[in-house]
Structure 1
Amino acid sequence: MAVVRGGALVRVASSGNKRARITSQMEDKADRLSELPEHLIDHILLLLSIKDAVKTSMLSRKWRYRWTTLPELVFDDLRTPTSSDAQSSNSVLGKIISDVLLIHTGPLRKFVISHKKFHADSDISRWCYYLSRVSLKELVLNFSVSPWCKIPSSLFSCQELVCLNLCSCSINLPTTFGGFKHLKRMELSSCLVSQDGLERLILSCPLLENMMLKNVDRQISPLHISAPKLRHLGLYGTVNLKDVSFGANHLTSGVISFSVDINEDGVAHVNQSYSSFINFFSQLPLIARLSVGRYLLKVLACN
């Protein structure tokens, strides 16, 4: 009887080893994906939502932490959908971002928050501190929910930035800010920033080639743009052209569009004048391509 029990134990152990071998073979087959070139694996993961990228950790042992080295992290309406309740959505998305950054390892090339239901809270300071230490190249912070998100000083330590896109943010440059020496593209939309702060920010980006200012603070007047390498400029909304001046520049293309005031009779009025346009364009001797809003054409047609 003891022998029989021993034989049974031997058979059970053998069955267990067989299952282990089968599992190992399945993992080996699944892990053939690991033989793909690194850039191709990254491309596959970047096409997935954060949730689906995390699920790839179940493919095999080698894929368990592969998603934690993603060079780009994008949190937007498409890749991180949330509930219809604004408060719940804000809490859930904030936790997702914090958890992902806590686990993430390796370099991070691009970081995006662009969610119509999200308003950053105190966590933004912790996130920006992390981003300032990973040689970030591209940063997008698009907060469409009021009030303005106050940008922490640690963001201005992201010295490797090449592209910066801020929406509905309050910008206050620290006195120690040494500039973004590699920045080539900057977009500021509905941001709260002082005239001195904006001018100093532009001046501190010596390689800036493409800039868009949309609905910046109405108190910015006049605005002097000193960016010798700037090639494309977009001005939208509240900027008054008569208050914009340039140093030496090489602008070759631009987009000009204005906000419109509606009077009591329902008639649209553009807060610009013909002389403002003439003075503005006279500063741009190399301009070759220009896209204008329909209200600009209306002003020109009346003169």
Structure 2
Amino acid sequence: MFLKQEMVTIKEENSASKRGKFDEEKNADRITTLPHDILSNILSFLPTKTVVSTSLLSPKWRHIWQQHLSVLDFSDDDFEPNEDRFELFKTLAVFVNSVFALGKPCDVKKMRLSCTESLVEDKFCIYSVNAWVRSVIGPHLKELDLIFGSNDGYFFEPPINLSACINLVSFSLARAVYFDLKFAKGICLPSLKKLYLEIGYVEVTSVSAFLSGCPILETLDLCFDSEEYDILRVPSSLKKLKINLGNDNEVGASFEIDAPGLEYLNISRFTFGNVGNLQHVVEASLDIHPPTGASAFTLVKLLDTLSGVKHLVLSHSTTKV
């Protein structure tokens, strides 16, 4: 009798022990046991500041972001705001330089750099930003997203060695940016399919020269200001085009579009232009600003080329013609 009860007790203890081990295994850190390539992919969706913080979890995490991280995402929004913008930039710079010193920037596939609150006209700021961008330029880079904000006259010049990014597919360049024709002509991006440019005052010829170096571009979102009238020419490979002349001056830019595969067209604040076959355009929005006394014939010709459009929006200035 006692022996039977003792055996039952032992079985219950063994069962409880197994359940305890099962619960312990169930609650274990299984993420850390995943392969490096999966962990690296998980980290690629996080801001780099958060990624570096994972070093506190385990030495393994530090090894992963130092040796395997292929995505960098830096933003001054990740740091405490400071009334002194230069001090905020220095805080960002110390962090970015530390990451570059410990990691392998030459293997970066995607980089996002946002300096909207901290960038100032200072040699240290200019040198730092240029150095960071140059560090990631190379055949591994596929996406580059640069967002600058400055009220102090700082302008970032796209490096001519950007052409080394032969596999770059997506490129965004916004705000405090300067495009010189000598730089624009020297840049060629043979794999680029998506381009976003918000570049302030610039010569139209410089923009056209830069676009001529993007032979397979499919999506173009372009916003700029110009004080000299000229013709903007876009790649014939485009499928989606959105262009906005930011200023309200009549003098600015006309457009020349010959993109037979174009499906979406959005033109704002441009004067009349020359167009080719746009019969595949399904959706269009036109905000055309004709010169004083201009004939409506060119606009009618543009509308006639949009024979396949299913959704069309015309601004007041356009219908007024």
TM-score range, shorter chain: 0.7 to 0.9
- Per the alignment, do residues 287 and 220 of structure 1 end up closer, same or farther by CA in structure 2, a change over 3 Å counting? farther
- Per the alignment, do residues 61 and 299 of structure 1 end up closer, same or farther by CA in structure 2, a change over 3 Å counting? closer
Q: Which residue of 2 aligns with 1:17?
A: none
| Structure 2 unmatched runs, 5+ | 1-26, 120-124, 271-286
| Structure 1 unmatched runs, 5+ | 1-28, 260-268
Q: Does 1:231 align with 2:239?
A: yes
- 1-side partners of 2:213 and 2:172: how far apart? 16
Q: Is the 8 A contact 2:161 2:187 kept in 1?
A: no
1:242 shift after superposition: 7.0
Q: Is the 8 A contact 1:50 1:80 kept in 2?
A: no
Give percent identity, aligned residues only: 23
SS of structure 2 residue aligned to 1:190 = strand
Q: Greater CA deviation, 278-287 or 209-218?
A: 278-287
1:94 shift after superposition: 2.3
Q: Which residue of 1 aligns with 2:168?
A: 161
Moved over 4 A (4+): 29-32, 239-242, 279-290
Q: Is the 8 A contact 1:194 1:219 kept in 2?
A: yes
1:170 shift after superposition: 0.9
SS of structure 2 residue aligned to 1:54 = helix
> Normalized against structure 1, the TM-score is what?
0.72
Q: Which residue of 2 aligns with 1:20?
A: none
Q: Which residue of 1 aligns with 2:19?
A: none
- 1-side partners of 2:72 and 2:302: how far apart? 40
Mapping of residues 56-205 of structure 1, within 5 Å: 56-68=54-66, 69-105=68-104, 107-119=107-119, 120-133=125-138, 135-146=140-151, 147=153, 148-167=155-174, 168-172=176-180, 173-174=182-183, 177=186, 179-205=188-214
- 2-side partners of 1:178 and 1:297: how far apart? 35
- Per the alignment, do residues 47 and 164 of structure 1 end up closer, same or farther by CA in structure 2, a change over 3 Å counting? closer
- 1-side partners of 2:253 and 2:85: how far apart? 41
- 1-side partners of 2:118 and 2:164: how far apart? 24
Deviations 1:255-294 (A, max 9, x none): 23339xxxxxxxxx9843683643544566665555x5xx
Q: Which residue of 1 aligns with 2:267?
A: 256
Q: Is the 8 A contact 2:75 2:115 kept in 1?
A: yes
SS of structure 2 residue aligned to 1:87 = helix
What is the letter of the counterpart of residue 154 of structure 1?
N
SS of structure 2 residue aligned to 1:215 = strand
What is the letter of the counterpart of residue 160 of structure 2?
S
Q: Which residue of 2 aligns with 1:13?
A: none
> Normalized against structure 2, the TM-score is what?
0.69
- Per the alignment, do residues 190 and 104 of structure 1 end up closer, same or farther by CA in structure 2, a change over 3 Å counting? same
- Per the alignment, do residues 47 and 202 of structure 1 end up closer, same or farther by CA in structure 2, a change over 3 Å counting? closer
